[in-house]
Amino acid sequence: MKRAQSAFRCADAARKRADPLAGSAPPTRRWLLLEHPGPWRIEAIAGAGIDPDVLSTLTRRAGSDTRILLVRRPGRIDRQAPRQWILAGLDAATVTGPWRQDRDLLVAADVLRGSAANASQREQPMILVCTHGVHDVCCALRGRPVAAALASRWPNLVWECSHIGGDRFAPNVVVLPDGFYYGNLDPEDAVSTVEAHFDGAVLPDRLRGMTRFLPPVQAAAIAAYQQYGPLRPLDVTVRGTKHIGPHHGHGSETFVELVIEPLQQMVRVHVLSVRRPDAQLTCRAMHETPATEYRVIDFTPA
């Protein structure tokens, strides 16, 4: 009798390959979070049942600098509970409002355009954990235990969320509004990593990147956290960048000038974008494709 072949899991494969995390956070400036109990389809937003005209307005106002996600609280879901929307952004106040009918989301669209009328501000940070299992099973298998562990520590801050990118690094955790992506966590590591982040000490070993920067700049900044840490989330700033070659693609070079603010130390970092061997990067992928590694070639204090 033949032994059943175990199912492919992209996160297991990525760990075996030692895929580097640095530079893998998708750049964005804002997140519009729509509370939705599920089930979530593969294309979560398009399949959420939102009135097409309302969804079209939201998508248009979101533009290229706002990521729209579905969110829900970990654990047992009360499908009759009131829902809300939340808009979190880098260097901006987080605002929220109720979602009883789809047209309520037009208030969120107004906030995206710059009007904060009929919206409330909130001060607390948020922790997103991707658990979008229909999109990639690794996100559910690895993400839900991490969401539960984080929720036991911070019950009012944690949300499960739909696809945020980098399935092979599951479980993926995003801390808002700072826009820091962490990956390859387990429940214990997740709690200690987020706790350190909140305490002002970024742990770079599981850090995928910061969404305020482009991928090669993320890799340069992570190198600075490794060299000079512990540092707070905003202690590494970018003074300048120079890019040579294809737009952040294989074979391009990026030269980054960083400032380590507490030390008033400038650092020059040379990052090379390297094409990695073809691999199956998600559980659902039909073909092998290459990922990009952002390799720090030189790190020189100025």
What are the backbone angles phi and psi of residue 111, rounded to the nearest 5°?
Answer: -65, -40
pLDDT score at 33:
98
pLDDT of 57 > 70? The answer is yes
Tell me the average pLDDT across 158-164: 98
Closest CA to 211 of 161, 177, 245, 185: 177
Percent pLDDT > 90 in the chain is 87
pLDDT score at 252:
93
pLDDT score at 194:
98
pLDDT of 123 > 90? The answer is no
Buried-exposed string 40-69: b where 16+ CB fall within 10 A, e elsewhere? bbeebbeebebeeebbebbeebbeeebbbb
Please tell me the distance from the alpha carbon of residue 45 to that of residue 31, in angstroms, as a whole number: 13
pLDDT score at 2:
46
Sign of CA dihedral 268, 225, 69, 113: negative
pLDDT score at 110:
93
pLDDT of 272 > 90? The answer is yes
pLDDT of 153 > 80? The answer is yes
Pairing of strands 253-260, 236-244: antiparallel
More confident residue, 6 or 62: 62
3-state helix, strand, coil split of the chain in percent (to 5) is: 25, 30, 45
Burial of residue 112 (number of CB atoms within 10 Å: 0-12, 13-18, 19+): buried
pLDDT score at 1:
44
Cis omega before residue 177 (within 30°)? yes
In single-letter form, the type of residue at position 59 comes to: T
pLDDT score at 6:
75
Percent pLDDT > 70 in the chain is 96
User: DSSP assignment of 221-252, as one string?
Assistant: HHHHHHHH-S--TTSEEEEEEEEESSTT-TT-
Please tell me the distance from the alpha carbon of residue 275 to that of residue 295, in angstroms, as a whole number: 10
pLDDT tens profile 86-111: 999 998 899 999 999 999 999 999 99
- pTM (two decimals): 0.94
pLDDT tens profile 162-204: 999 999 999 999 999 999 999 999 999 999 999 999 999 999 9
**Residue at token pair 């804002």:** 30
What residues does CATH 3.40.30.10 cover in the chain?
1-212
More confident residue, 29 or 82: 29
Domain 1-212 has CATH 3.40.30.10: yes
Tell me the average pLDDT across 131-156: 97
Give ∠ CA 115-116-122 in degrees, rounded to 5. Answer: 150
